[in-house]
Amino acid sequence: MIPIHRPDHPVDLALAESLLIAEGIPYFVHNKHFGGLYPGVQIELLNARTVMVPEAEALRAREVLADLLTAEPEPPPTSPRPRFSLGQIFRMLFEAVAFGWFFPAKRRRKDDDTKTTP
């Protein structure tokens, strides 16, 4: 199976699934349910959803999803690493600091307070 589409929104995913079902094209959505469990930072193999189809159906699937796929801007294949604006860097740092669920704190073992030492 090869990746065809990486939707940014559940509505885009539902639309892609509906189009593929209507055309009878078999597909698989990598991280379909797990991707919605932890919203926030999208890490490609961890929680980003990806629509995949068999290689034999790839051309037909791209034709079916042509309007949906052309709506997405694709980076050039030889583009250098994307540069982030100052606002994007600030937002990422804020999310990393403010949302402790992304970086869970190390839990310390509590001693039993009822014990007394002589």
- DSSP one-letter code for 117: -
Q: What is the CATH number of the domain that holds 6?
A: 3.30.70.790
What does pTM read for this prediction? Answer: 0.55
Domain limits for position 10 = 2-70
Tens of pLDDT, residue by residue over 14-27, are 999 999 999 999 99
Contact predicate 73/24, CB 8 Å = no
User: Which residues are within 8 A (CB) of 65 and not within 5 positions of it... i.e. 6 or more apart?
Assistant: 4, 5, 16, 19, 20
User: Reading across the β-sheet that carries 28-30, which strands appear in turn?
Assistant: 2-5, 50-53, 28-30
Q: Is residue 45 part of a domain?
A: yes
Q: Is residue 104 part of a domain?
A: no
CA distance 92 to 88: 6
Q: How many domains does the chain have?
A: 1
The pLDDT of residue 25: 93
Q: Is residue 58 part of a domain?
A: yes
Tens of pLDDT, residue by residue over 31-82, are 887 766 666 666 666 777 889 999 999 999 999 998 877 765 555 555 556 6
